């Protein structure tokens, strides 16, 4: 068909969204769910009527027939929600997309992995160089501070030993200047090797965080960690305790009970 050929019927219809396509592909399943909901509402109406007091205030209550209907609805719902029902269709619908996502992630993660390895390798080398440079700068700054302090001390001693008062004052002023220089050098020595290293192409800095590694779990004082344990984690530990001890061993501050649920087969 060339450009002059007329467009086919429906050519201007936009493609279906994912939700719309799922509704088309799984229309039968939606019908089954809808029918189950209708039947459940009908049975619920029977249950409500049985539990509603009559004009005399009497409640007839559930009958075997109504309970059987409820069990039937429960069994149908259980089967529909199981792996052979809705979950089966959901898994089938998502499989192709999961495969696509895994392919996409693998494609980009391969490149990211190479970049991370390059960054890590160069980071280790540059980090070692930077640490050595920082240490050298700190030593050199400390030496400058020491020499400045020695010069200031020598000049002060010279001023104290001067025989002429005017000469002594001049030398004392020189000693004061040297003392200021020595203090400045000492301050610089304290800061040397602590800031980022700047180069023509970028800045080298070292970052870190305090962390830990368990070497002997039996020696850990749990009470010291109480304030750092979240409520969610604490609830997880309590559930594990309840599962293990059941109701045979109480746990102060915790209610241990059997959480029962009705199932249909």
What's the rounded mean pLDDT across residues 63-81? Answer: 91
* Residue among 27, 162, 44 at smallest CA distance from 89: 27
pLDDT one-digit tens code per residue, 108-131: 999 999 998 988 888 888 878 777
Number of domains in the chain: 3
| pTM beyond 0.85, yes or no | no
The alpha carbon torsion through 161, 164, 166, 170 (nearest 10 deg) reads -30
Q: Are 145 and 168 in contact (CB under 8 A)?
A: no
Q: Are residues 76 and 26 in the same domain?
A: yes
88 within domain boundaries: no
CA contacts within 13 A on the Cβ side of 181? 16
Look at residue 137 and tell me if it is in a domain.
yes
* Residues in the chain, total: 265
**167 assigned to some structural domain:** yes
Residues 170 and 236 in one domain: no
> Residue 241's domain spans which residues?
222-256
CB 53 within 8 A of CB 60: no
Residue at 240 is within a domain? yes
What are the C-alpha distances in Å from 75 to residues 30, 47, 64, 71? Answer: 18, 17, 16, 6
Instruction: Give the model confidence (pLDDT) of 189-221 as tens digits.
Output: 566 555 666 666 676 666 678 899 999 999 999
Regarding whether 238 and 191 lie in a shared domain, the answer is no
Candidates 118, 131, 138, 124; CA nearest to 197 is: 131
């Amino acid at each position: 068909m060339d450009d002059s050929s007329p467009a086919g019927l429906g050519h201007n219809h936009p493609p279906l969204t994912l939700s719309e396509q799922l509704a088309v592909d799984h229309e039968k399943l939606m019908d089954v769910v809808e029918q189950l909901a209708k039947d459940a509402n009908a049975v619920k109406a029977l249950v409500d009527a049985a539990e509603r007091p009559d004009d005399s205030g009497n409640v007839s209550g559930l009958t075997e027939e109504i309970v059987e209907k409820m069990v039937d609805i429960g069994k149908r719902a259980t089967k529909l929600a199981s792996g052979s029902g809705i979950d089966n269709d959901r898994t089938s619908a998502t499989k192709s997309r999961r495969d696509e996502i895994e392919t996409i992630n693998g494609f980009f993660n391969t490149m990211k992995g190479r970049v991370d390895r390059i960054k890590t390798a160069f980071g280790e080398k540059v980090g070692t160089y930077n640490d050595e440079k920082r240490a050298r700068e700190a030593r050199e700054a400390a030496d400058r501070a020491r020499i400045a302090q020695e010069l200031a001390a020598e000049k002060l001693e010279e001023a104290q030993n001067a025989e002429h008062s005017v000469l002594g004052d001049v030398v004392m002023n020189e000693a004061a200047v040297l003392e200021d220089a020595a203090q400045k050098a000492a301050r610089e020595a304290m800061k040397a090797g602590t800031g980022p290293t700047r180069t023509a192409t970028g800045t080298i800095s070292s970052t870190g965080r305090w962390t830990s590694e368990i070497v002997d779990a039996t020696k850990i004082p749990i009470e010291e960690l109480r304030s750092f344990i979240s409520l969610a984690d604490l609830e997880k530990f309590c559930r594990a305790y309840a599962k293990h001890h059941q109701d045979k061993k109480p746990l102060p501050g915790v209610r241990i009970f059997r959480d029962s649920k009705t199932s249909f087969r």
